[in-house]
Amino acid sequence: MKSYLILAKNLLVLLILINCQSKKEDTTNETDERVVIAPTYQDILDSAKLNGAVLIYDSQQETFYTNDSVWMKTGFLPASTFKIANSINALENGIAKDTNTMFFWDGKPKFLKSWEEDMNFFQAYQRSCVPCYQHIARQTGVNKMRETLDKIDYPGMVFDSTSIDNFWLEGASRISQIEQIAFLKRLFNKKLPLTENTYAVMEQIMLLKETPNYKLYGKTGWAQPDDVTNIGWFVGYAKTADNVFFIATNVQPGQGFDMQDFGKVRMGVSLDALQPHIEKLL
């Protein structure tokens, strides 16, 4: 009798394990089905002499489109795309109150001439003012920064007191394209524990372009972790009358690429990939 009870117990454990594994496999398959390979994205990058991937999420179709399903899951330094999270940090912790909060130039030469003047929060974001956002990070401090990033579920950042003002530009911090879009979806859908003021200000500063067919929100980024590597980003979303398309582009210069074009090409290839999706709605 005892042997039968042991056998029955083992069979029950086996059935539970099989059932759990089956559910896990079903979830994986459903996720895989939502990723569509778009060869036209690769054509766009090839024409621009870039390596990398474009990732677009169609909210209505609940489908990801990309040219590289491996690259889209690979982590990279976020560079200035982190200004989205750091702006939320500034607003939630009282370092910035609205678009008119001022940041003052210290009078020293900066990497860009456009950073060599006093500017408000809106201008600091739009001009991607690194010194302004380094000031925000230093004002926040390590513990409060970690607490805030945990609160908004922004993954992959590695920092301490020695790197609090540059961890998004160099070091071990990493975020993937699919993680960028997951974060942007939570922000857009107001699934983050933020004040209404933070949501309102973020919508104002993130608006980059407005056309008759859509509004484009987002942020570019450019990191140079060493002497030979350049990492380019564009992340954001395009809001139409009927849909929202989230986008994360991560590229690196390919053979024959002219680095003078790197500043504008990140958004350029993103819009080229995005345009056919929007045109389908017209």
Point out the residues that are catalytic.
80
Sequence-ordered alpha helix ranges (H) in 119-234: 121-126, 130-140, 142-151, 177-188, 196-206
243 within 8 A of 60, measured Cβ to Cβ: yes
First to last CA, the chain: 72
Strand ranges (E), the chain: 35-37, 50-58, 63-66, 102-103, 119-120, 207-210, 215-223, 231-239, 244-253
103 within 8 A of 124, measured Cβ to Cβ: yes
Other beta carbons within 10 angstroms of residue 71's beta carbon come to 19
Distance CA 149, CA 73 (A): 20
β pairing state of 35-37 and 63-66: parallel
Q: How many CA atoms lie within 13 A of 108 on its CB side?
A: 3
